Amino acid sequence: MKSLYERSLAVLPPVAKRATKLGIIQGQGAYLTDEKGEKYLDFAAGVGVANCGHNHPTVVAAVEKQLHSLVHGGHNVVYYPSYIELAEKLVRRVGADYKVYFSNSGAEANEGAVKLALSVTKRSGIITFNSSFHGRTLLTAAMTASNAQYRKNYEGVLPPVYHVDFPDIYNTNLSEKEEIARCLNQLQQVFHNVLAPTQTACIVIEPVQGEGGYLPAPKEFLTKLREICDRFGILLIFDEVQSGYGRTGELFAKDHYGIQPDILTSAKGIANGIPLSAVIGKSEYMDQWEPGAHGGTFGGNPLACAAGIAVLDIMNNDFLQHVSKIGTYFTARLRELQEKYPIISSVRGLGLMVAVELRDKSKEPATELVSQIRKEALERHLILLNCGVFHNVIRFIPPLIIEKSDVDKAITILDASLDASLRKVGEN
* Span near ligand PLP by CB under 6 A; candidates 3-11, 80-88, 130-138, 415-423: 130-138
Stretch that binds ligand PLP, among 7-15, 22-30, 236-244, 344-352 (CB under 6 A): 236-244
Give the residue with the Cβ less far from ligand PLP, 210 or 398: 210
Name the residue type at position 78.
Answer: V
> Given the complex with ligand PLP, which of 204 and 358 has the nearer CB atom?
204
201 touches 118 (CB < 8 A)? yes
* Sole window of 18-26, 89-97, 234-242, 334-342 interacting with ligand PLP (rule: CB under 6 A): 234-242
- Determine if 210 is a binding residue for ligand PLP (CB under 6 A): yes
Stretch that binds ligand PLP, among 18-26, 104-112, 218-226, 380-388 (CB under 6 A): 104-112
- 31: helix, coil or strand? strand
Which residue's Cβ has the minimum distance to ligand PLP? 106
Nearest 5 degrees, angle CA 320-CA 279-CA 115?
Answer: 150
Tell which one of 59, 107, 251, 271 touches ligand PLP (CB under 6 A): 107
By beta-carbon proximity to ligand PLP, the closer residue of 17 and 361 is 17
Q: Are 150 and 120 in contact (CB under 8 A)?
A: no
CB of 348 to ligand PLP, least distance (A): 17
Q: Is the CB of residue 302 less than 8 Å from the CB of residue 311?
A: no
Given 133, 166, 257, 289, the residue binding ligand PLP (CB under 6 A): 133
Determine contact, residues 119/111, Cβ cutoff 8 Å. Answer: no
Q: How far apart are CA 200 and CA 234, in angstroms?
A: 6
Asked if 274 touches ligand PLP (CB under 6 A), the answer is no
Interface with ligand PLP includes 267 (CB under 6 A)?
Answer: yes
Report if residue 47 touches ligand PLP, rule: CB under 6 A.
yes
Question: Between β-strands 235-239 and 200-205, what pairing exists: parallel, antiparallel or unpaired?
Answer: parallel
Among 168, 179, 239, 357, binds ligand PLP (CB under 6 A): 239
Question: Could you give the C-alpha distances from 396 to 32, 80, 169, 268, 383, in angstroms and in order?
Answer: 16, 37, 20, 15, 9
Q: Which of 118, 161, 122 is nearest to 140 (CA)?
A: 161
Strand partners of residue 39 = 33
Asked if 106 is part of the footprint of ligand PLP (rule: CB under 6 A), the reply reads yes
- For ligand PLP, which stretch binds (CB under 6 A), given 175-183, 239-247, 283-291, 416-424? 239-247
CA dihedral 190, 124, 115, 282 (to 10 degrees): 70
**Which residues contact ligand PLP by CB under 6 A?**
47, 105-107, 110, 133-135, 206, 210-211, 239, 241-242, 267
